[in-house]
Amino acid sequence: MATKAQINANRRNAQNSTGPRTQKGKAKASQNSLKHGLTARKPVINLEDQEEFEQYRDRLFAELSPSTPMETMLVERIVNLSWRLKRANLIQNQTIDALNTPDTDSPYAKLKKSFGMKDPDALHPELKLGYMAIKDFSNDRVLERLLMYERRMENSLYKTLFELERLTLVKQIDEKDVMPTKNNLRKSVSSMVT
């Protein structure tokens, strides 16, 4: 059991380590738990270019041209999912390259060597995401798990695209005022029956 003096000392010491105080420091600390970025909260991780993402986003918005808040929300989701899908493909390629680099015999030894240094980019900076994925998945069926993430993102992307297409078609039908009313449908059905 801690003594009163130890408790007071711990409280005084805790005042010295309150974490980052600046916005820049807080932004950097928020990336501490980032592993491979496939489930990141933000669409752009610190290894990606925000400006490239914005250009990609603008191109998709121009192509899909949403006109309602719901369509805008769906297009935003399409942008984020397709960007993550691009990242998943990049991670898979880097993981395969990282597993096949001729530094040592085993991928795990390469990983330990890479992450044992102060600078994880020291060996192969172009394979950073691949090494992060190997480390995150503890080298256990890493490619299988990456494919699982990719399939989930693809399914979500296709469902979102389908929903956007459905909304667009419904809106086009409503604009043409071709949508039959219940009374017109009943009359049509009863005339076909008799």
User: Which has the closest alpha carbon to 94: 116, 117, 123, 51?
Assistant: 123
Residue 106 falls inside a structural domain: yes
Residue 40 falls inside a structural domain: no
> Can you give the residue range of the structural domain that contains 172?
46-176
Residue 37 falls inside a structural domain: no
The total domain count for the chain is 1
User: Which has the closest alpha carbon to 124: 89, 143, 99, 142?
Assistant: 99
Which tokens in the block code for residue 70? 């719901």
44 to 32, 58, 77, 191: CA distances (angstroms): 15, 15, 13, 58
Decide which of 142 and 111 is more confident.
142
Residue 24 has pLDDT above 90, yes or no: no
Residue 170 falls inside a structural domain: yes
User: Which of 56-60, 154-158, 168-172, 173-177 has the weakest average pLDDT?
Assistant: 173-177
Residue 98 falls inside a structural domain: yes
User: Which of 78-82, 133-137, 168-172 has the weakest average pLDDT?
Assistant: 133-137
Residue 36 falls inside a structural domain: no
Long-range contacts of 163-172 (CB under 8 A, 24+ apart): 163/74, 164/64, 164/66, 164/71, 164/74, 164/75, 164/78, 167/68, 167/70, 167/71, 167/74, 168/71, 171/67, 171/68
Question: Which residue shows structure tokens 């693809």?
Answer: 154
Residue 62 falls inside a structural domain: yes
Tens of pLDDT, residues 26-57: 655 555 444 556 666 777 877 788 999 999 99
Residue 51 falls inside a structural domain: yes
Mean pLDDT of the chain: 75
User: Which has the closest alpha carbon to 129: 45, 27, 56, 49?
Assistant: 45
